[in-house]
Chain A
Amino acid sequence: MKILYEKPPVYDRIVKAIGTPPEGAIYTYGDTIYVPSGRTPDKALITHEETHSLQQGNYPEVWWNRYLKDVEFRAEQELAAYRMQIEAVKRTTRDKHKRGAALEHMARAMSGPMYGNVISYLDAWKAIGGYA
């Protein structure tokens, strides 16, 4: 995937639909990862965004339209991406503390305002880490 260190083409629509994302947020539109913060994402983050790229296929605009309007769709798509991300973390470390901290962060992000508080923290924790 390509990486561009700028805001994605859908940024203004994200702000309008969900709110202003955190400073460190990264985005995928088609085969491109957008990183406005300028800080290179690690492999696990790229895995998360690669999942979104696969979800979008050849129709990123259609995907984003639904993502911004359909809360259940948004939650479903993000959970799938976080599941891939936690698996990527597991491949990089066997340290249970690091894995646990990563899962906590993901569950917190998943249940937070970045996606519109679409799920509780506990449900997100179970869905991301407890599915396997």
Chain B
Amino acid sequence: MTQRLPTYVVEARLVLLTDIEISAENFEDALARGKDLAIKDFVDIKGNHNDSAFEVVSVSKKDGWRLTR
């Protein structure tokens, strides 16, 4: 029993209300700082993605974070 990997983004930038920005250069560090929110919210994103290399384009959520390329 397992579950799907979360949608994660390396080439995109994640901008949270907490001003944590994720890019390819600081991905792991930023993800660690914003881990709970990032991982939690990545899980069921309905974005453009495939199973091997996720790409999320312009996803938004009411409580205020967005993903952009």
Contact = CB atoms under 8 A, between A and B. Distances in A.
A108 B32 CA distance: 12
A23 interface: yes
Contact of B31 (A26, A43, A81, A101): A101
Contacts of A115: 1
Assign chain B's interface to a size class. 10 to 19
Interface residues of A, number: 39
B3 A26 contact: yes
Secondary structure of the A contact surface, majority rule:
helix
B39 interface: yes
Contacts of B44: 23-24
A48 B8 contact: no
A83 to B, nearest CB: 12
Given A98-B10, A104-B31, A104-B39, A42 B1 contact: no
B27 interface: yes
Interface string B29-69: 00100010001000110000001110000000000000000
Contact of B8 (A14, A81, A101): A101
B18 interface: no
A2 interface: no
B4 A52 contact: no
A36 B6 CA distance: 17
Interface of B: 1-6, 8, 10, 24, 27-28, 31, 35, 39, 43-44, 51-53
